[in-house]
Amino acid sequence: MSQHLPPIRQIQYLLALREELHFGRAAEKLFVTQSTLSTGIKELETFLGVTLVERTNKSVAFTQIGEDVVARGRRIIVHYEEMITHAHNYQDPLSMPIKLGVIPTIAPYLVANYVSSIKQSLPDIKLYIRENTTNNLISELQDGKLDLLILAFPYDVGNLQTQMVFREKLLLGHRKKTKLLTKKQLTSARLDFNSLPDESLLLLDDGHCLREHALAGCRLRNQNKIHTFGANSLQMLIQMVDNDLGMTLIPEMAVSTGILRPTQIETRELSDTFFRDIGFVWRKGNYRETELMDLMGLLSAPTAA
């Protein structure tokens, strides 16, 4: 076999097909004809000596080796695009924005002050900020679409680099004088998780890491306390709790920045502390790693409003 590498364009064809799972849509995405894209992928298969894609009249399926090549191809494209960007911006490295991803249960309570600190300390750096769920942000980081993430941990990020910045408590929020707690519980500074009524704890839907952190905290406790309802935002949970339809766990940063105003909700700690760690994630070897380190040094825990 030739020692030359396959053309970058063929790898791009394969990645587009994996994303779309349709030859026509993949071709449109790359502004080429369907026959050009199909031929390019066949050439890549010939070069590698393996079948990457199983084709039928109605579907496209990737073989196991095809999935492996796609994963490696993504890394190749990321490094290739970083090389091009680095070369184009060698004379002015700050001309391109740093692309920052943040999860929804952090962004509204942390980003404004963080960006303000960046503008004061690093006024020449341009930022592009994207809010999304953890899984989606990690995929975009691995694909080179983002440079840096602010996430909540624990969370498995594979071989990506991480740096923790601070730990925050998850506080139990309930309506004042709620019917869900006894008079004794309402006057207690801390509550035992196991003393909560069954199905009283409202959490976010699957896909939100705040739910995973709550479940991790409940792992050795009674999960019967958790309600089957799942909200798609922390704001929806707050509305449900304010109407005394349940209780929920609220990040301390959300409380300190005023999410509970003007509700009738109060918070207290659970006797077994629930918490999450806030930190950064980035790709090892990112050519702008020095700038990323400068950015990471400016993040701090929010203070009470």
CA dist 235 and 105 (Å) reads 10
Length of the chain in terms of residues written? 305
pLDDT tens sequence across 159-177: 899 999 999 999 999 999 9
Rounded to an integer, what distance in angstroms lies between the CA atom of residue 268 and that of residue 252? 10
- For the chain, the structural domain boundaries read 8-88, 93-165+277-296, 168-274
CA distance to 165, 181, 198, 204, per residue, from 162 (Å): 10, 40, 37, 25
CA-to-CA separations, 265 to 56, 134, 178, 239, 243, in angstroms, rounded: 57, 28, 9, 10, 9
Q: Report whether pLDDT(117) > 80.
A: yes
Which one is the CATH code of 168-274: 1.10.3720.10, 3.40.190.10, 3.30.450.90, 3.40.50.300?
3.40.190.10
CATH architecture of 93-165+277-296: 3-Layer(aba) Sandwich (3.40)
Fold match between domain 8-88 and domain 168-274: no
Threshold 0.75, pTM exceeds:
no
Token couple for 33? 């004809």
Confidence check: pLDDT of 220 > 50: no
> What's the confidence (pLDDT) of residue 281?
97
Pick the most confident of 46-60, 86-100, 118-132, 223-237: 118-132
Tens-digit pLDDT profile for residues 85-102:
666 665 555 567 899 999
For 8-88, CATH number out of 1.10.10.10, 2.40.37.10, 3.90.1150.10, 3.40.50.300 equals 1.10.10.10
In this model, does residue 269 exceed pLDDT 80?
yes
Mean model confidence pLDDT for the chain: 87
pLDDT digits (tens, 9 = 90+) for 118-145: 999 998 888 999 999 999 999 999 888 8
